[in-house]
Amino acid sequence: MALAVGMRVLTRALHRPWARGLRVAPGRTGPAAGGGDGVRCFGSPRVLVEPDPAAGVAVVKMRNPPVNSFSLEFLTELLISLEKLENDKTFRGIILTSDHPGIFSAGLDLTEMCGRKPEHYMEYWKAVQEMWLRFYLSNLVVIAAINGVSPAGGCLLSLTCDYRVLANNPKYTIGLNETRLGIVAPFWFKDMMVNTVGYRTAERALQLGLLFPPAEALRVGVVDQVVPEDQVQSTARSVMAQWLAIPVCRPGVQNQGLGRAVLSPEALGEAPSCLIQPLAAPDDPWPLDASRQSAFPPRGLPACLCLQAPLFLSLVRTLVGFGVHPKSKRISS
């Protein structure tokens, strides 16, 4: 609780014009400013990371002014931050939020998609897809603390998270509104929406480019929870605690074939080659194969789980009030 209060203080301290904020933290890997409560922050000019090693959680704050749009530089820095946290065994969860309440993220940076060379488009789209895949398949629990509007790619980013908490401000709409801008969302944007709100709702939402205000977003299921604006961060922390209490929620095991196995081989079969190639490269083995394997234990459970079997059985026994030992029971029957 004290932590949450400390965070709110920190958040308030950061309510300042972007330019100033950026001037204070110019270095890419240097420590970020704003931490007046002893929390050591790191990150990059466009991504502020506030680690809480004791809790195993890091708050990742996007700060790419003015609207946290996905420029190539921003995506690169965001992915580097994610990778650092994933490689650090200290961390088991990330809370993804905006450093500037009011805007979560406006999504793709259209200036990256106009008047550039073909190579640039390839590089840019690869970065967008990396963002999608890396967050979606991360072995860290990722909770989105959505503290601002979240259209288009901003919505996609929040959909890659395990759980979405939205601030109850009618201005904070969320949705894939590409068609309103004359664009058709890529099919994997659509797939993420379909998996979150169901096919029919997604179909209509994408065709009409609907942006849902909080109450509506909760009703259709774009977000999981709507809370008062000043409780977004603390709620995200509470939710994170729930997730981290699950034994499987630890780096390397979390999400293995679990609920996130959306990325079926068929789905990937539809993906453009620029998406598949980098992941299938020998030096970057495709993580999904391994996870699918592990989801199906044809060779018995790992030893650590065998140890849990008696615990499991005794739990069940307690639950139903039987006094007999299940194992001997089964054998004697």
Residue numbers 212-251 binding its own copies by CB under 8 A: 221, 224, 242-243, 246-249
Helix residue ranges per DSSP H, the chain: 2-13, 18-24, 72-87, 118-136, 152-159, 187-197, 199-208, 214-220, 232-244, 265-270, 273-280, 287-295, 303-320, 326-332
Token pair belonging to 48: 């502020």
Active site residue 159: no
End-to-end CA distance of the chain: 53
Q: Judged by CB under 8 A, which of 24, 184, 280, 281 binds its own copies? A: 184
Q: Judged by CB under 8 A, which of 162, 235, 237, 279 binds its own copies? A: 162
Cβ–Cβ < 8 Å for 40, 90? no
Active site residue 216: no
Torsion of CA 124, 128, 133, 138, to 10 degrees: 110
Q: Binding of its own copies at residue 127 (CB under 8 A)?
A: no
Across 184-209, b (16+ Cβ under 10 Å) vs e yields ebbebbbbbbbebbeeebbeebbeeb
Q: Binding of its own copies at residue 170 (CB under 8 A)?
A: no
Within 10 Å of residue 332's Cβ, how many Cβ atoms? 8
Least CB distance to its own copies at residue 189 (A): 9
Q: Binding of its own copies at residue 318 (CB under 8 A)?
A: no
Q: Binding of its own copies at residue 296 (CB under 8 A)?
A: yes
Least CB distance to its own copies at residue 31 (A): 18
Across 85-94, b (16+ Cβ under 10 Å) vs e yields bbeeeebbbb
The DSSP secondary structure of 93-125, one letter per residue, reads EEEEEESSTEES--EE-GGGGSS--HHHHHHHH
Q: Binding of its own copies at residue 69 (CB under 8 A)?
A: yes
Q: Judged by CB under 8 A, which of 9, 13, 181, 281 binds its own copies? A: 181
Q: Binding of its own copies at residue 190 (CB under 8 A)?
A: yes
Q: Which stretch binds its own copies (CB under 8 A): 2-10, 28-36, 144-152, 230-238?
A: 144-152
Q: Binding of its own copies at residue 287 (CB under 8 A)?
A: no
Catalytic one among 14, 85, 108, 156?
108
Integer-rounded Cα Rg, in Å, for the chain is: 22
Active site residue 178: yes
Q: Judged by CB under 8 A, which of 149, 155, 156, 227 binds its own copies? A: 149
Q: Binding of its own copies at residue 185 (CB under 8 A)?
A: yes
Residue (38 or 170) nearer to its own copies, CB = 170
Residues 251-280 that bind its own copies (CB under 8 A): 253, 255-262, 264-266, 269-270, 272, 274
Active site residues: 108, 153, 177-178
